Amino acid sequence: MRRPRAVSKGLPRSCFVTTDVSGRRIVSGCGRSPNSFWERRQVATLLTGLNAVIKALMGIRNYLIEGSSGTGKTSVASELERRGYHVVHGDRVLAYVGDPETGQALAGPPEGADRLVWGYAHWIWPAEKVRAIAADTTHPVTFFCGGSRNFHKFLHLFDKVFVLDIDVETLNRRLDGRPDEPGFEPAERALVLRYHKTREYLPVGININTAGSVTGVVDDILAQLT
């Protein structure tokens, strides 16, 4: 390619022209939008590269959906799956009884401890596995749904945190209809209602009222992703 020279006829004096190996003139350096095929192609190539870099930097989106027993975590997770989203059911595939600080699995409560209180306080997720799933770019968006007492170990991985909530009357009605779930028996009910009131073991996040239909609740969550 020849050395660029100033172009004077029909172009600003700041413009330069070069010729490629076939003799084709390429005008550049005029401080204006590119108008030749080759200039447009160069700009397009540059923009494509920039878009790839931006996409890589953005990475995958991870969201946590938390809430006390009876607030609708499982129903929300199922609706998200129905809509085609990748969902991790934390209470089914991640949760185990262990030390919230070390992650070590524990066989059961020490002698004399309240079994229900202790079990609730030691319901955790494996931090390393959560990190691995969050780093997986197979899915553009992943929702982690469930409760854990060691969320402080991986809360920073999530782009947003949603905390499901509901009024006490609706909560009691839901718990009455779940004989095989935590919160049905009197002792469990008292503990669920206590934690619902005090919000113990819940992260700070975007509060989502789940008193309405599950489709409406999911619409509310999805509307707040951006």
| % of residues, the chain, pLDDT over 70 | 74
Flag the least confident range among 1-10, 76-85, 191-200.
1-10
One domain, residues 106 and 16:
no
Q: What domain range includes position 42?
A: 5-57
Residue 57: pLDDT band with limits 50, 70, 90: very low
Q: What is the pLDDT of residues 19-49, one digit of tens each?
A: 444 455 544 455 555 566 666 677 666 666 6
- Do 96 and 183 lie in a common domain? yes
What is the SS3 string spanning 166-216?
CCHHHHHHHHHCCCCCCCCCHHHHHHHHHHHHHCCCCCCCEEEECCCCHHH
Residue with the bigger pLDDT between 7 and 148: it is 148
Q: Count the domains in the chain.
A: 2
Q: Which helix (H) or strand (E) element contains residue 97?
A: strand 96-97
Q: Could you tell me if 215 and 137 lie in one domain?
A: yes
pTM over 0.75: no
Percentage with pLDDT > 90 across the chain: 67
Calculate the average pLDDT of the chain: 83
* pLDDT tens column, 197-218: 999 899 999 999 999 999 999 9
- Are 9 and 110 found together in one domain? no
**pLDDT, tens only, 81-105:** 999 999 999 999 999 999 999 999 9
Q: What is the pLDDT of residue 86?
A: 96
